[in-house]
Amino acid sequence: MANAATFIDNKARQLSYYADAFVWGSLPASEVNLYCWDTLEEWSQVAANDVKMTPKESAFWYLLHQLVCSNSSEIKGCPKLRSEVDTCINYLRGCGRYPDFCCGIRP
């Protein structure tokens, strides 16, 4: 059984690419939803009950939530939301600062 840190490290870059493609319209919402639900199913197999969340994990869950609850036109049409999504994408790719607005929590 994987641990939380390994899971997030393995999935963070992948989530950032899905999010970026979704925002730019090169990936349909149905495929993003499928990815998100698959990720949640995989997460259910992770032993994470006694591990404190890291900032990276918080950004991961925040971005996943935005992808599930928003559509690409909402993200593109709201400058604040777009900025938050872009900041999370960059942070998860390792080329940005921690998004201090993040309040992502584990499912």
Q: Where are the domains of the chain?
A: 12-42+51-92
Look at phi and psi of residue 25 and say left if phi exceeds 0, alpha if psi is from -120 to 50, else beta.
Answer: left
Each residue of 49-98: pLDDT tens digit? 767 889 999 999 999 999 999 887 888 899 999 999 999 999 999 998 89
> Is the full-model pTM beyond 0.75?
yes
Q: Are 104 and 58 in contact (CB under 8 A)?
A: yes
Chain segment 11-55, per-residue pLDDT in tens: 999 999 999 999 988 999 899 999 999 999 999 998 777 678 899
